[in-house]
Amino acid sequence: MNSNLNMTIARAARPGSVAVALLIAQTVAAQTPDGLPDFSGMWSDPPPRAEDAFCHTGCTVAARDYLTELLEDPDNLDKTYAELRREAQRFNSEAFIPGHLTPAALEKYPFDRASDPSLTQCEPWGFTRQILSPHALEIEQFDDRVTLYYSEWTARRTIYTDGRSLPENPTPRLLGYSIGHYEGDTLVVETIGVEANHSNARFEHTDQLTAVERYTRSADGDRLDVEVTFSDPPTLSKPLTMARAWTWAPTEEIYPYDACVIPE
């Protein structure tokens, strides 16, 4: 087996002793003083697992699971991680995503990155890419809302948790309108009213896109996962679910965003 793949799998392995297993089983996920799941604080790079590196900027759950199958298949022991990752990417872009697109969306798929407005005009990312963006994420929880502050584009979102309903027929805006509620240890977020844009799955979507995000924190507190299901009848023939993960990073900071340079 390739040494890099060996190292990746070794880092991902879980402790197997009975004592450690009992300790993990007794661990309770962090909670706020009100007894709600606690997501507050700074989160950064993906956990050290092959699938998390693959999903660093978001990936379909199906492609992530397909990569897991490839990594665990004994027939692939002589293949490098890079080879298996490319195979999962081909499955994702050539088989899975096209099977979720409407005929109209397929005509424009895949989106040409050379024409990406964020590169050619320094326009901030749209909703679907922003919520799965790389680098640091800071979360703050209040009685009536949750705020998310992203390192990429230093974008901010507010998710209202005060029981309000989503607005009817809102004017589309870059990151839409979001409300949330807690289901056990999960923060569930519903979003509508986003501007038409394109996703990191390289399909274009309309302003009819809606999303349901589900955030969970691991029992040891070191991992934050999100799975988001997108729906958009004009471009998606069926809902598409994507995911990514962050690692707890209390010493991380978010700096002013100056990475955008328009080519001359």
Per-residue pLDDT of the chain in tens (264 residues, 90 and over written 9): 443 443 333 334 444 443 433 333 334 568 888 889 999 999 999 999 999 999 999 999 999 999 999 999 999 999 999 999 999 999 999 999 999 999 999 999 999 877 788 777 888 999 999 999 999 999 999 999 999 999 999 999 999 999 999 999 999 999 999 999 999 999 999 999 999 999 989 999 999 999 999 999 999 999 999 999 999 999 999 999 999 999 999 999 998 887 676 555
Using CA atoms, how far apart are residues 207 and 210, in angstroms rounded to an integer?
8
Strand 156-160 relative to strand 177-183: parallel, antiparallel, unpaired?
Answer: parallel
Single-letter amino acid code for the residue at 188? V
Is residue 67 within 8 Å of residue 85, measured between CB atoms? yes
Domain extent listing, the chain: 3-9+36-247
- The first and second tokens of residue 134, run together, are 């790389």
Backbone angles phi, psi at 142, to 5 degrees: -125, 175
**CA dihedral sign, ordered 257, 259, 262, 264:** positive
Task: Find the farthest-apart pair of alpha carbons in the chain and give their distance in angstroms, rounded.
Answer: 61
Q: What is the pTM of this model?
A: 0.86
CA distances to 100, 190, 192, 224 from 237, in Å: 5, 20, 18, 29
